[in-house]
Amino acid sequence: MSQAIDHVRAPGAQFNFAQHLIECNATRPQKIAFIDDVGTLSYGELAERIRRTAAGLLAAGLRREERVLLLMQDSSDWVVSFLGAMYAGLVPVAVNTLLTAEDYAYMLQHSRAQAALVSDVLLPTLRQAMGQGGHELRAVVVSRPGADAQAAGDVVSLEALISANAPLAVAAPTSPDDPGFWLYSSGSTGRPKGTTHTHANPYWTAELYGKPVLGLVEQDICFSAAKLFFAYGLGNGLSFPLSVGATVVLMAERPTPEATFKRWTEHQPTVFFGAPTGFAGMLASPKLPARKDVALRLASSAGEALPADLGERFTAHFGIEIIDGIGSTEMLHIYLSNLPGRVRYGTTGWPVPGYDVELRGDDGRPVPDGETGDLYVRGPSAALLYWGNREKSRETFQGAWTKSGDKYVRNADGTFTYSGRSDDMLKVSGIYVSPFEVEATLVQHPAVLEAAVVGMVDAEGLTKTKAYVVLKAGQQVGQDELKAFVKERLAPYKYPRQIEFLSELPKTATGKIQRFKLRELDSARS
């Protein structure tokens, strides 16, 4: 490992992340790398398909560092397309599969993508996006196309592209700091931003988190509810397992409890990557498998802070820990995390070795333990910039430091407790109130499945807390009971002044609650 790290850090070094992963697994060509909805792919087959895809994209007239849109459901074809583009020196732009044609039209124009790699089921939406923006592509490559796509004649199947081209013998001579790929921010606070990552960034997340913290080894079978287009999912389902030669289970469908349980029992993954919303749904499901029916040794959670109650109940049922952590699209993966055998439920744990973390006040100075501050992080996996957005780039990437947009409190034992997003924090009667703290208390009530808390401005212009609550199936509870429940557990000023019951909360595709939509809902009514 030390030699590889020295090489990645060396000035003028040559490093191509796709080539790096191929070399990592050159001695295990027969080992199964991926199990998806249609079959398996060995490491030897993976390397061959990556190199042939790279050759095919270059043969289509694409040039070094040009962007290619990657709009695919999770499958081995997604991985082949992503790494094939990187091997060729192109820049894959991995996008959310649940967006609208208008969203993709914006992303095509913003990224100036010259080609698209797309799942057959998403091809009609891509065509709409191309029509809306008038954006022409040199090539549209379709994963597992149906009869309609093939009959149209204006696309090429990924399989045909692979078959028609000999493997590209040598990877593009990229450097560790060259643009490697883009990820768009989730949009939980508005317009998505094109976050530009380097070839070295996924290497660092694997070396600093995947191997030492999760302890991933070749014998592991990894399964992530978070999709590959999400920074969290990209590490879970590609960078981490491929860096150690593990096997990955991929599925195209949404990670409902039933779909997740099916993979747990059929493929027996040893490490599962989820999010708090998913864990809540699974624990509430009557189909939750028994401990003896799964092979899990560890679970990971990110996306939002994990309520202590969820972690404790999961551990009580399955006998394993959930390692809760926080990462971001900007930092690519987790930099603050609980540790196996050292879990403090209700906190986000300690800084991951290799990353520095600071909490700063409004004046930019460090805050003492016990006080809320803005979380800044410094580490080698930080993105280069937001493409075409200098103002936001300067605001977020401040020298060696990245402003996370999250507020935290550092505890006496060195752990950090989440206090909400910087733009979600509420100041009630001159005192900060963490929406997450109120939410975490509400979900402890036996009738509550999920909760989201936002600020509401009253007739006097003062901010008060309002909770949106989703009840468990068949459960009923009144506002007064829930308010009293919170008052008994938190300081009285923190209880929600209003509670509204909803059938579901608005969320991004990665499971994050979109509190700005709840605020917009209130504004529209007033």
Q: What is the pLDDT of residues 488-523, one digit of tens each?
A: 988 777 899 999 999 999 988 767 888 888 988 877
**Number of Cβ atoms within 10 Å of the Cβ of 134:** 9
Strands (E), 400-525: 401-410, 416-421, 426-428, 431-433, 448-457, 463-471, 498-501
Looking at the DSSP bridge assignments, the partners of residue 253 are none
* Start-end of H helices in 112-200: 123-133, 147-152, 158-164
> Residues 6 or more apart from 19 whose CB is under 8 A from it?
87, 171
Edge-first strand order for the sheet with 463-471 is 448-457, 463-471, 498-501
Structure token pair of residue 401: 């430091």
**What is the pLDDT at residue 3?**
66
Residue ranges in the chain whose pLDDT is less than 70: 1-3, 11, 186-191, 429-430, 460, 510, 524-526
**What is the pLDDT at residue 186?**
61
Cα separation, 62 vs 54, whole angstroms: 10
Looking at the DSSP bridge assignments, the partners of residue 455 are 465
**What is the pLDDT at residue 374?**
95
Question: Measuring CA to CA, which residue among 110, 119, 108, 115 is closest to residue 61?
Answer: 115
Cα separation, 219 vs 39, whole angstroms: 19
CA dihedral 135, 141, 143, 149 (to 10 degrees): 70
**What is the pLDDT at residue 382?**
98
Beta strand pairing status for 139-143 and 115-119? Answer: parallel
- Residues 158 and 77 sit within 8 Å (Cβ to Cβ): yes
3-state secondary structure of 305: coil
Report in angstroms the alpha-carbon separations of 304 from 69, 347, 403.
27, 11, 17
Cα separation, 267 vs 264, whole angstroms: 6
Report in angstroms the alpha-carbon separations of 517 from 232, 437, 504, 520, 522.
23, 20, 12, 5, 9
Residue with tokens 């986000």: 348
Supply the DSSP symbol for 31.
S
**What is the pLDDT at residue 459?**
72
Edge-first strand order for the sheet with 298-301 is 40-42, 32-35, 247-249, 221-224, 271-274, 298-301, 322-327, 334-337, 350-351
Beta strand pairing status for 350-351 and 334-337? Answer: antiparallel
pTM, entire model: 0.88
Long-range CB contacts for residues 123-131, cutoff 8 Å, separation at least 24:
123/149, 123/155, 125/71, 125/100, 125/101, 126/69, 126/71, 126/101, 128/101, 128/104, 129/101, 129/102, 129/103, 129/104, 129/105, 130/105
